[in-house]
A and B are shown apart, each in its own frame.
Chain A
Amino acid sequence: MSSFFWLMIGGAVVSCLVVLLLIGRRNERLIRRDWEMLLTPRGEKVYGAIEGKVRTELGMADLSFEHALVYRELGTTEEAIRLLDVGYRVIEKFSPDMLRLLAAMATFSRMVSAIAPVQPLRPKNFRLVQVSSLAYLHGVLHQFLVSASERYRLKMYILGRSFGLATRFLLRSIQTLGLSPEAADTKREWDQIEAIRSDFQTLTDESLDSLRILLTAMAREDRQDLLRQIAPR
């Protein structure tokens, strides 16, 4: 063995022991907690406000759909359709807000590359075939993109399209039920409404999770412009 090799071993002994000593003295629990608390107070406030607004609106729509299902089981079809219509109106208002939020989030996608990995949507989490297909497409396209920011933008786009698709299907199902409430294929429409409800929930969860990733990444750079843009008024 050459003297250079022994010199390298000596260097490795010193550096390795110093680094491992520092690693050994770290408090892993404290570090994990720090990572979980990366949001700035303002970012956290914005996230809380958006989450509250979104969950409330979706909850209202969900309640209408739930009551509609109950009335339908009781045989009061007209009242059930009226409640479906109420739920749709809430969704009709909720969906553009959500699309605007996703568009604003996509604008700031560059900041995501600083920290967080972007996970593709899982097709099995969706019940509508069309939305599930979009999630499959997302999974494939995700593999072709390299940077986290591109992947993030793609996810925002797919989420936006999925919201649009689910809203359209909801409208179509309600219209079909309104036109022929006693027809044989009403069960299929009610099943579709049930699936749309579930998919709206999943899409909202995914959107909020993406927002959290963005705000977490942003907290490191202390950017206030996004907060101003997406903060609910």
Chain B
Amino acid sequence: MRAKFALEGGVYEVTPVRRADGVAIGFGERVRRASLRMLDEGEAIVTLDGRPARVWIAVQGDEVFVHAAGRAWRVAVVDEIAAAHGHGAADDTVLAPMPGTVVAVAAAPGGAVRRGDTILVIESMKLETAIRAPRDGIVATLPLAAGATFDRGAVLATLQPETS
């Protein structure tokens, strides 16, 4: 599989490959044998094609902090699927998951929303649900006002198409 890392404002793809004699890492066209030996206190020896280098490594969640060549580097693992999602035509329409009534409208056409922001609150079967923005974007339309009823699958909101 390909691993994508973000560091210093750039995204880099490497392809780690398991071979019988260890791990090889592909950097673009070049493939180099690689191994890691952890010592104490986060110190490690990373060997690339037989050349060892002394580094310090600390891992936290999906971030790896590396001290190498006299400075600290912050490397974040980029989620492949999330990264691929961002480049295509993503969710532009927000549909009602069930029939109900609009309780409150929390956004406005032309307004910017972040992924997860509440766009509307609906009520159905005595339960209130927040309808959230599926991605960062600009709200295009909000066809229903508070008090309006709708059926399952009705369009509750649309986002302006992403231009990439």
On whether the two chains bind one another, the answer is no
Binding site for A on B (CB under 8 A): none
Binding site for B on A (CB under 8 A): none
